[in-house]
Amino acid sequence: MRAWRDSVAVDFAFAVKGSRFITHFRRLADVGESVSTFCDRVALLADRLHLVLWQLPAGMTIDLPLLDTFLGVLPTTTRHAVEFRDASWLVEEAFEVLSAHNVAHVHVSSDVMPIDLTTTADFVYVRFHGLAGYHGEYVSRPLEPWADFLRAQVE
């Protein structure tokens, strides 16, 4: 990690994807030690670490107490974002849990998940997974609503 940190421009920022062991195998349950180990390792990126992305598995349905417990073990010295892959999470109660921890709800552009532009933190994180109609590429028209949304976030 130190080599990565030292090999990029001074204004480069890393967004690191959280461990699949934590999200997909343990499914956020009893992961305090695993989170600590993972975060200690990525902390070697120092000031280049911008955030950690936690992408939940597609079949994982809403469990608010589990989410709250998981977010409670994340270090607050790093920004975190959670990407839901099941529409059951796209409810006000889940967004309230994210907000309570200042964790960003990942705004996704994909054919798999509906777009939900609920902002839950003092920053936003957007992922463009690609749209089948554009073969994974984007042209101006589908990007226009995203540009409007992002402009509104910085105003």
pLDDT at 155: 77
pLDDT at 134: 59
pTM to 2 decimals?
0.91
Q: What mean pLDDT do residues 17-27 have? A: 98
Provide the percentage of residues in the chain whose pLDDT is more than 90: 73
Owning domain of residue 82: 2-154
pLDDT at 37: 97
DSSP the chain: -HHHHHHS-TT--EEEEPPHIIIIISTTTT-HHHHHHHHHHHGGGGGGEEEEEEE--TT----HHHHHHHHHHS-TTSEEEEE--SGGG-SHHHHHHHHHTT-EEEEEEESSS-------SSS-EEEEEE-GGGTT---HHHHHHHHHHHHHHH-
**CATH (domain of 43):** 3.20.20.410
At 33-57, the pLDDT tens digits run 999 999 999 999 999 999 999 999 9
Q: How far is residue 43's CA from residue 49's CA, in Å, rounded to a whole number? A: 7
pLDDT at 136: 64
Q: What mean pLDDT do residues 104-120 have? A: 91
Structural domain count, the chain: 1
pLDDT reading at 91 higher than 70? yes
Q: 95, 117 in Cβ contact below 8 A?
A: no
Of 75-89, 104-118, 119-133, the range with the highest mean pLDDT is 75-89
pLDDT reading at 16 higher than 90? yes
pLDDT at 152: 94
